[in-house]
Structure 1
Amino acid sequence: MQQLSVQLADAAATQNLGRQLALDWLALPQPKPILLLEGNLGAGKTSLVQGIALALEIEEHITSPTFALAQHYQGQAAALVHLDLYRLEQSASADELFCQEEEEAQALGALMAVEWPGRLSFKPEGAWTLQLDLLDPNDPEAGRVARLQR
């Protein structure tokens, strides 16, 4: 297992990390890992996914799928399946949605990014986990730290 920790000054740096992760992901052979995004509200998970979308050459604006639960985007380089399990308090519901979306992501050859993976009753095998934390919870402009395990 490889671990990386990096300090990110702002949303642009968070997007740049997302872009680099997506480029690394694109270079991998099949089956490709799922990206699990952990962190409190406002930690930068959606900003990171916006950077992923740039690398996948997705033209649509990326927003958090908190209310829709799942968003699908088609890019020139690859598709993106973006899940947000925050509202699913029952692990059985989160597991069911995850499994449905994972099957579709695999069929599409899509990068699958999952916000709030702690709602699942299991950790997907071979997944990359990225933990985002604000350096100062009272000041989102102070930057964040990202810790990646892959």
Structure 2
Amino acid sequence: MFIGNLIETIQLGKKFAQELNPKSIILLQGPLGAGKTSFVQGIADGLCIKEDITSPTFALSHHYNSGITPLIHLDLYRLENKFMAKELFISEEEEAIQNEAIMVIEWPELIEPVLDNFWKIEISYAPNFGRNYKIWDPKNSLTFE
């Protein structure tokens, strides 16, 4: 699926939020500046979250509770090993389960091998302009490009 600009990325995230259930896990992969956090802003908009959505690169996680469904946003970019990433994920996953939150994880490569049921979204730069999105459903049976 081709998305041309920031507004379209946010709109795609908003539309994608309709597919999610409480306790859904979404893995976002893509290079720096590809639009991962913008996509999360769209998800938050679709969940009627009123707080400003920012990248949790330095905080590692942000929690948003003002919407229809709570949202936990993780960014594992700064974590250097699988143990640290898994420890953070387990802690946040417990809270997500308890609060029936949706969890979105940027830079999930360190923990993806230990996960079973998740949405996976790959964002890449299009050759001339915009972004390409590939979306896999939790059972990995559908791919939208």
TM-score (norm: length of structure 2): 0.89
Q: Is the 8 A contact 2:25 2:119 kept in 1?
A: yes
Deviation at 1:69, TM superposition (A): 0.1
Amino acid at match of 1:15: I
User: Of the candidates 12, 15, 33, which is equivalent to residue 10 of structure 2?
Assistant: 15
Instruction: Give CA-to-partner distance per residue, 1:98-117, whole Å, 9 cap, x none.
Output: 01101101111111000000
User: Of the candidates 38, 57, 62, which is equivalent to residue 29 of structure 2?
Assistant: 38
2: CA distance, partners of 1:132 / 1:123: 22
2: CA distance, partners of 1:75 / 1:122: 31
Q: Is the 8 A contact 1:134 1:143 kept in 2?
A: yes
User: Of the candidates 87, 91, 94, which is equivalent to residue 103 of structure 1?
Assistant: 94
2: CA distance, partners of 1:114 / 1:96: 14
Deviation at 1:33, TM superposition (A): 2.8
In the alignment, structure 1 segments of 5+ residues that lack a partner are: 1-5
Counterpart in 2 of 1:144? 131
Q: Is the 8 A contact 2:96 2:103 kept in 1?
A: yes
TM-score (norm: length of structure 1): 0.86
Deviation at 1:123, TM superposition (A): 4.1
In the alignment, structure 2 segments of 5+ residues that lack a partner are: 138-145
Identical-pair percentage: 44
Structure 1 runs (4+) greater than 4 angstroms displaced: none
1: CA distance, partners of 2:67 / 2:41: 15
Aligned residues: 137
How well do the aligned residues superpose, as a CA RMSD in angstroms? 1.4
